Structure 1
Amino acid sequence: MQITHYGHSCVLLDTGAARLLIDPGTFSAGFESLTGLDAVLVTHQHPDHLDLDRLAPLLRANPGARLVVDTGTAGDLAGTDHEVTTPGAALEVAGARIEVLGGEHAVIHPDIPVIPNNAYLVDGTHLHPGDAFPAVPVPVDVLLLPTAAPWLKASECVDYLRAVAPRTAVPIHQGLLARPQVFYGLFTGLAPEGTALRVLDEGEPTTL
């Protein structure tokens, strides 16, 4: 599967059958010119995962794309055609199978309400967890690994990486960091045996 990272949590997965854009948010760039998309998938409603100002022109440029969102994001999409999905569902998009996992965003602080969060497992091999560490029902080839956020610390990233033990881990959600290489080195040194870390050049397609 070909992966293009557009910064932070935004990635394009090209399965060879389907072109799936996940989390086109405010900290990401370069996705605006994409065409030929089959779906835009949103994990949750935070702006760094969905830029509403850039969503409309993106959908106009991709009239055949399905907009698939969680229950929380749906409330922000009045007047925009979309589909709501929840954990436990399985979708078929242009020949790709998308399993919806997760359920809730990780806790940022007890005083901040917890919102819905969908994780997306594509073709049983490539997992985008959104802002959470969902359990996975099957071995995962490629894990898009959240790197830094108000809701997590580095040890939790490493523990999740070890629990999933993918063939390849691709760091995402690094847009808050001035020096993400510090985290990448930590992940490389503490990854489970058999897992390789791949830091993708933003905007450059890579087959993983």
Structure 2
Amino acid sequence: MRAVQLTHLGHACLLVETDVRLLIDPGTMSDFAALTELDAVLVTHQHRDHVDAARVAALLTANPGARLIVDPDSAGSLDGLPTAEVARPGERLTFGRTTVDVHGGLHAAVYGPIPGCTNNAYLVDDGAFFHPGDSFALPPGEVDVLAVAIDGPWLKIAEAVDYVRAARPRVAVPMHEGETADPAKYAGMLGAFSEIPTHRLTAGEPTAL
């Protein structure tokens, strides 16, 4: 597996750098407007905290070479965005020398009859990095760096711990904490209870993992 460099840009938004620059889940609680030289923007699902359509449209204007990749439900719900490529579980995408395999399928259940939506999980370079979006989708094999949601209306911290213990990454990277008053507390519990090394990224700071 190749090493990746990650930059946490708030909430569930991560810039993944290999030989290319991939931006995942640029939503309303994320700071991504100044990015340039992007090769792709990947959206896991249609919720606004994962895709801010107006700002993504401006981002794509500033990055004319970037491909926009979305899940099936997002394709019909994001007004004002340029034509996107729809990716489905089982497909492999290629950007430069970097591969992104699509996994998952559905957003984690929020509550009872509340309708769900499609949710893509993205596996970079055969396990170098895995972003599950708002789901408990497991990578298909060994994974080096796993992004893990630590807060949300569909989640409790015990479920995040169980998810990390099931995936067994080398390192877990907490995310999805934009509405959390004390994200350091939740990240600390994730590491302590899962007994998996947990690295909380400093917002806006590129980190090699």
1:125-144 mapped onto 2 (5 Å cutoff): 125-144=128-147
Task: Quote the sequence identity (%).
Answer: 51
1:67-78 mapped onto 2 (5 Å cutoff): 67-77=68-78
Amino acid at match of 1:25: G
3-state SS in 2 of match to 1:196: coil
Please tell me the root mean square deviation across aligned C-alpha atoms, in Å. Answer: 1.0
Q: Which residue of 1 aligns with 2:65?
A: 64
3-state SS in 2 of match to 1:110: coil
Q: In 2, Cα distance between the equivalents of 1:109 and 1:197?
A: 28
3-state SS in 1 of match to 2:161: helix
Instruction: Extract structure 1 runs of 4+ deviating beyond 3 A.
Output: none
Q: In 1, Cα distance between the equivalents of 2:56 and 2:88?
A: 21
Amino acid at match of 1:205: P
How many residues end up aligned between the 2 structures? 204
Amino acid at match of 1:92: T
Q: In 2, Cα distance between the equivalents of 1:82 and 1:137?
A: 26
3-state SS in 2 of match to 1:57: helix
Q: Which residue of 2 aligns with 1:47?
A: 48
1:158 to 158, 161, 170: 161
Q: In 2, Cα distance between the equivalents of 1:184 and 1:122?
A: 23
3-state SS in 2 of match to 1:184: helix
1:76, CA displacement in angstroms? Answer: 2.3
2:24 to 15, 22, 25: 22
1:111, CA displacement in angstroms? Answer: 2.0
3-state SS in 2 of match to 1:33: coil
Q: In 2, Cα distance between the equivalents of 1:77 and 1:174?
A: 23
Q: Which residue of 1 aligns with 2:118?
A: 116
Contact 2:14/2:23 (8 A) holds in 1: yes
Deviation readout 1:130-170 (Å, 9 max, x if unpaired)? 00010221110000011100001111000001001111111
3-state SS in 2 of match to 1:144: strand
| TM-score normalised to structure 1 length | 0.95
1:182, CA displacement in angstroms? Answer: 1.8
Structure 2 residue runs without a partner (length 5+): none
| TM-score normalised to structure 2 length | 0.95
1:181, CA displacement in angstroms? Answer: 1.8
Q: Which residue of 1 aligns with 2:174?
A: 171
